[in-house]
Chains A and B, each alone.
Chain A
Amino acid sequence: MTEVEENKKVEGVMTIEELCREYWEPLYRFVYYKVQNREEAEDITQETFVKAISYIQENRTKVENVIGFLKTVALNVLRDRWRKYKRRGNTGNLDDISQGYAAVNDYSESTVQRDLILHALSKLNEKQKSCIELRILQGYTVPETAQMMGISEGNVRVLQYRALQRLSKILKSDDVD
């Protein structure tokens, strides 16, 4: 069997190239949402494709919902990494995956989740809000933020710490209305 023919086995009709080209971006966005950095999102996306395609080929499985399946594998990869770093964890078993499960806890495109976070941000005082906006949403460094806000760098660090503590409490509580 040629390599092309072998590749055709994935999903019955799609080659590995087609599968990667079609699905890398939604999967990457999903992973990025979880890890919030490009370096890790690229790595996990890649590992997910390798594992998912191996699973499909070895089990000759027909996957109905490809992106759902990929997201579920990505979640397993993330969980495996967390466990591995805690030493002696078990390896996730792809056989345990049931398709359709990935939709659970997938907030990457959820406007409800966005609204909750925006609502929580609106409950911060003006200084805290500005600090979070500059540091996290606009990505300025501590010295740049300090200069723009007219406060010391130490104050920026304390301000963002307090703001995030407050945000964390608001997001955890039911007090979001």
Chain B
Amino acid sequence: MNRRINKLSKYIDTLNEERKPKEHENKKESPEMEELFETVRQVRSLKDPKLPEEDYAEKLTTVVKSGQSKKKTKRTSKRTRYVGLAAVAAVLVFIIVLNTVGPFARPNIVQAMEQAFLQIGAYHGIVEVIETNAEGESVTQTKVEVWADKEGRYYVKGIEGWQKDLVTANDGETKWQIRHDDKEVKLFSAFPDPYGFTFEIGQEIEDAKKAEKVEILGDDVIAG
């Protein structure tokens, strides 16, 4: 009972702060709590909405146009590579997440990534994680071939680094791993598997959305 009372109070606080409550992301509440949340929203609807900053329309236009140009990129490259998966196109922007604490700073590039990612159903490509030290020396930490869809299913094959020759797959029902030399299949439950593999684009975008600052190092197109 106390848990529900406190949860409802926190929900009201979050809306009062004009932030998205976590309950809107994870709709696993009891019907009773859902009804109470709905009632809070209904009462709040008596108030005038809190409008965005003055430059919202301008920012919106930029992001919408950016979303359109990403779609054009997808259409022109469709004829060429990767036939296997349903809709395979993503703009992959390499970023450095300098601080993952602040939830508010969301530069346009992150929004553009988010919008580009919304347009696709699945993607395929080689993901390389490179660490660069203060002296500018770069070392490849891992390199993997990835086939992934947005339902959380994926196939990842290690090419370089500690995952070399390790194949991990998750079809939403079961997760299994095979290492070529071991001749042994290891089975795991598909869930929980909150961070399926290193640099899953959707997860990276979610992390970047929470970042205080991001820096663009370059861009590449994973097309299909």
Contacts and interface: CB of A to CB of B under 8 A. Distances in A.
Mostly, the A contact residues are helix
Contact of B45 (A16, A33, A47, A87): A33
Given A86-B27, A164-B40, 14 more contacts: A20-B64, A32-B50, A37-B19, A38-B52, A39-B19, A46-B60, A88-B151, A114-B46, A136-B16, A136-B40, A141-B16, A161-B5, A164-B8, A172-B35
B194 to A, nearest CB: 12
Contact of A49 (B4, B60, B118): B60
B170 interface: no
7 contacts: A20-B57, A34-B41, A38-B50, A85-B26, A117-B46, A139-B16, A164-B40
B14 interface: yes
B162 interface: no
A82 B47 contact: no
Determine the interface band of chain B, counting residues with CB < 8 A from chain A.
Answer: 35 or more
B64 A160 contact: no
A176 interface: no
B40 to A, nearest CB: 6
A51 B114 CA distance: 13
* Chain A interface size range: 35 or more
Contacts of A161: 4-5, 8-9, 36
Contact of A171 (B18, B39, B57): B39
A33 B95 CA distance: 35
Interface in B44-73: 44-47, 49-52, 56-57, 60-61, 63-65, 67-68, 71
Contacts of B44: 36, 136-137
Interface of A: 3, 6-7, 16-17, 20-21, 24-25, 28-29, 32-43, 45-47, 49-51, 53-54, 57, 81-82, 85-88, 91, 107-108, 113-114, 117-118, 121, 132, 135-137, 139, 141-142, 156-158, 160-161, 164-165, 167-168, 171-172
Contacts of A42: 52, 56
B198 to A, nearest CB: 22
Contacts of A91: 121
A37 to B, nearest CB: 5
